[in-house]
Structure formats: C-alpha cells, structure tokens
Amino acid sequence: MNAPTVADLAAKGETPDVLFWVGCAGSFDDRAKRVTVAFVKILNAVGIKFAVLGTEEACTGDPARRAGNEFLFQMQAMNNIQVLNGYSIKKIVTACPHCFNTIKNEYPDLGGTYEVIHHATFLQQLINDGKIKLKEGGAFKGKKITYHDSCYLGRANNIYEAPREVLQALDADLVEMKRCRTTGLCCGAGGAQMFKEPEKGKKDINVERAEEALGTGATTIAVACPFCMTMMTDGVKNKEKEAEVKVKDLAELIAESL
C-alpha cells in the first residue's frame, strides 16, 4: 500500500499537498481500518500528493475534552500542533468527523490553524472536478441507500449536502430517514459515549437509529464516521439484519465503484 509518511517526504525535502489525518479509529479499529485503506486507494487512484503522520500521529484529544478532562485534551492538542506546525502542514483531510471538528474548530484556539476538510467534502469536490471517475452502471445503481448524518459533520459543522452528493454520484436511490439533516438522530457514540456503557434507559440509541434506517428499506446504510460505523453496525446486528443490510462508509462505496 502506497501511504508515504510526512517524515518520508521531508527526508526527500518534499511536503505533501494534503495531510491525511487517519485518527485512532482509522488506525486501530479493524472495521475503520478498511475505510482508511479504501480512502488511501482513492487518493492514490486520483494521484494526489498526500502523506500521513504514521506513528507520529496521536489522539486529537476529542473524547478527553468531551468527557471533561481539559488538561488531557490540551496536552494532546499541543503535542499534535507542535508536530503539524513542525512539518508546516497547511491542509488536512480526515475521515473522522470528530478529528475534523477538533482540528478545525478547536486547535486554532491553541495555535494550530489549518485548512481542514472532511473526506465527505473532499470526495464530493473530487467528483465535481471530474477527478474521480466512477464505473458506468456501478454496483449501487438503482439500489436503495440511506445516509445517516454524523452529528459532528451535520449540526456541529453544517455539512449536510456533501455526503449526499457523493451518494448521488453512485446513481443510487437515496432514501431519507424521517430524522435527517438538522434533526438527524445521533448514533449514540458522540461526547465520549463510545468509550463507556450507556446510562440506564429503555433502549440503546443505536438500536433506535438502526430501526429507523432499516425502516427505509435501504440495503446499504451509508455513514461518514467511524463511530457511527460501529454503532450502526451493532444496531443492525441487534435487529439480525446484517446479512441483508450493510453499513458502509462513503470512501468504501466510492472505492468499490472506481
């Protein structure tokens, strides 16, 4: 797999046009790693001069901050900013809406200002510019796909249309859930919930959301976030529909249709 590190490029006296921030889920979670690989495949197919930080990358601090541990967040943030500024990084793309939000909105307060793009927007731009060419009559033509809004893309950053435009490029039949865009229901993982059991209640949030997604009759649930991926996949399994309905990231859908 061609995934140069920024250090590799620096050794050759080069800098990447864009840094791909992989994130912890994209680096360690087996399911999310497949999304990382799919996205790298697209970057290579398009011929973009990109690089990753490799082992120099560290957690943005998002879950620590949202769980209330501001010290830990700022330690992580400042270390990351030192690394990014050290390599004079200007532009960052990431497949994780949580990393995206933190680096874009919160790092500037601590001295790290970059152009940060989520991969949904990045893919949409590549499609619009004609740089990504999808197969005629691809695997998803006419298939029902529903898109689950990530809170950290949607409400947190007002990105609602880019992921939908990416899906439309697949010629798929995009069906919406009742709760979508500004009223999209959370998968249940945000705010550091990913790292603990839910509080006592009647139901798990991801099951509620999976039921709604399954109710559309879609055979693919598209997501744009590694945490949504985990939650929706578990929700679909809970309803014993994993054989018929697949949860996939935008990057995987595009990579499969190249």
**Given candidates 9, 46, 48, 67, which one binds another protein under the rule CB under 8 A?**
67
Phi, psi angles (nearest 5°) of residue 115: -85, 115
Q: Does 90 bind another protein (CB under 8 A)?
A: no
Q: Does 59 bind another protein (CB under 8 A)?
A: yes
Q: Does 152 bind another protein (CB under 8 A)?
A: yes
Task: Report the residue number, 189 or 221, with the smaller CB distance to another protein.
Answer: 189
Q: Hey, what are 188's tokens?
A: 């249940």
**Given candidates 88, 136, 178, 197, which one binds another protein under the rule CB under 8 A?**
197
Q: Does 70 bind another protein (CB under 8 A)?
A: yes
The residues in 208-227 that bind another protein, with binding defined as CB under 8 A, are 208-209
Task: Report the residue number, 14 or 70, with the smaller CB distance to another protein.
Answer: 70
CB of 121 to another protein, least distance (A): 14
Q: Does 121 bind another protein (CB under 8 A)?
A: no
Across 44-81, b (16+ Cβ under 10 Å) vs e yields eebebebbbbeeebebbbbbbbbeeeeeebbebbeebb
**Given candidates 84, 167, 194, 223, which one binds another protein under the rule CB under 8 A?**
194
The residues in 171-190 that bind another protein, with binding defined as CB under 8 A, are 182-183, 185-186, 188-190
* CA proximity to 249, closest of 52, 50, 25: 25
Q: Does 1 bind another protein (CB under 8 A)?
A: yes
Task: Report the residue number, 67 or 171, with the smaller CB distance to another protein.
Answer: 67
The crossing angle, in degrees rounded to 10, of helices 119-128 and 161-168 is: 50
DSSP codes of every residue in 153-172 = THHHH---HHHHHHHHTTT-
Q: Does 162 bind another protein (CB under 8 A)?
A: no
Q: Hey, what are 174's tokens?
A: 């995009």
**Given candidates 9, 15, 46, 54, which one binds another protein under the rule CB under 8 A?**
54
Determine contact, residues 143/220, Cβ cutoff 8 Å. Answer: yes
| Cβ atoms within 10 Å of 133's Cβ, excluding its own | 12
